[in-house]
């Protein structure tokens, strides 16, 4: 676990904060990254404000191995993610020739300043372009910058996801027919003895066979097995429904 790559997710958009749009991108990224073996440490939602975007981007970049942003990429007045990242890192905002070429080819006669705005990126930005893509994958240092439209984000992340893959997390679930208060102290003792295993306890409503799911995760199968054996030996068997 000590060598596990970490990630932070920044969701950008007044529409998320005002409840006009429901965020699904953070859930998608967190789930995908977990399957790739990356530990998501923080998810934050911030407004379309250049200073806040810059400060948050810099903080996350200095704290986590990977940073993923969603939103604020486009031709309108509130698409200020690129400007925010540039300001946060103290670099200029300039047109990227490869992005400009794609946009000119795509829009042709309808090209205007609003379209050209989408070619402006922080100096030092890299792009990944695959034939037929309407817009490239953009990354600046360790920050991967995505548009907020879920279909676009999922499509582009899928293209580059393998670059983040590392050793996977191994997961076990224990389904218990009891209240958390009945086994909390027992679970705590197992947690204390197994620092390389992450435990979680989640009450479940609407089920008749079980009331709580306890999860245990580790990148070491051996350490996970040790922790699970300890947990199952200490829990009352009458409470145990199943283990997956």
Domain 6-164: CATH architecture, name and number where available: 3-Layer(aba) Sandwich (3.40)
Helix axes 50-63, 81-89, angle to 10 degrees: 60
Convert the pLDDT of each residue in 179-216 to its tens digit: 999 999 999 999 999 999 999 999 999 999 999 999 99
Which ranges in the chain belong to alpha helices (H)?
14-17, 25-35, 50-63, 81-89, 97-107, 113-117, 150-160, 180-193, 221-234
User: What was the pLDDT predicted at 111?
Assistant: 80
Query: Residue 1: what pLDDT?
Result: 54
Q: What is the DSSP string of 148-165?
A: S-HHHHHHHHHHHGGGG-
**Do the domains 6-164 and 170-243 sit in the same CATH topology, yes or no?**
no
Opening angle at CA 156, ends 150 and 161, nearest 5: 115
- Location of structure tokens 């224990």: 174
Structural contact between residues 176 and 211, judged by C-beta atoms closer than 8 angstroms: yes
If you average pLDDT over residues 78-93, what whole number do you get?
Answer: 96
- Class of 170-243 in CATH: alpha beta
228 neighbors 180 (Cβ within 8 angstroms) = no
Beta-carbon count within 10 A of 100 CB: 16
Domain positions in the chain are 6-164, 170-243
Helix, strand, coil % in the chain, rounded to nearest 5 = 40, 25, 35
The per-residue pLDDT for 106 is: 76
pLDDT at position 2, please?
A: 60
Which pLDDT tens digit goes with each residue over 39-74? 999 999 999 999 999 999 999 999 999 999 999 998
CA neighbor of 95 nearest in space, from 115, 77, 66: 115
Top-confidence residue, 56 or 77? 56
d(CA 227, CA 193): 8
pLDDT (average), residues 234-244:
96
Range 226-240 average pLDDT: 96
Smallest CA-to-CA distance from 154 within 28, 33, 42 is with: 28
């Amino acid at each position: 676990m000590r060598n596990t790559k970490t990630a932070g997710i920044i969701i950008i958009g007044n529409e998320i904060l005002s409840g006009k749009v429901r965020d699904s991108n953070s859930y998608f990224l967190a789930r995908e990254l977990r399957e790739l073996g990356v530990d998501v440490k923080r998810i934050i939602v911030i407004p379309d404000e250049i200073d806040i975007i810059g400060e948050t981007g810099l903080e996350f970049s200095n704290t986590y191995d990977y940073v993923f942003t969603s939103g604020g990429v486009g031709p309108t007045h509130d698409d200020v993610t690129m400007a925010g990242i540039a300001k946060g890192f103290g670099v200029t905002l300039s047109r990227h020739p490869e992005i400009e070429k794609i946009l000119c080819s795509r829009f042709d006669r309808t090209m205007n300043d609003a379209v050209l705005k989408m070619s402006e990126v922080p100096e030092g930005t890299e792009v990944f372009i695959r034939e037929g893509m309407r817009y490239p994958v953009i990354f600046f240092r360790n920050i991967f910058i995505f548009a907020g439209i879920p279909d676009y984000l999922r499509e582009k992340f899928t293209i580059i996801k393998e670059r983040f893959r590392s050793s996977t997390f191994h997961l076990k679930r224990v389904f218990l027919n009891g209240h958390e208060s009945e086994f909390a102290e027992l679970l705590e003792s197992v947690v204390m003895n197994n620092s390389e295993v992450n435990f979680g306890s989640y009450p479940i409503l609407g089920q008749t066979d079980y009331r709580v799911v306890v999860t245990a995760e580790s990148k070491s199968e051996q350490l996970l097995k040790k922790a699970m054996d300890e947990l199952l030996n200490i829990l009352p068997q009458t409470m145990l429904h199943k283990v997956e």
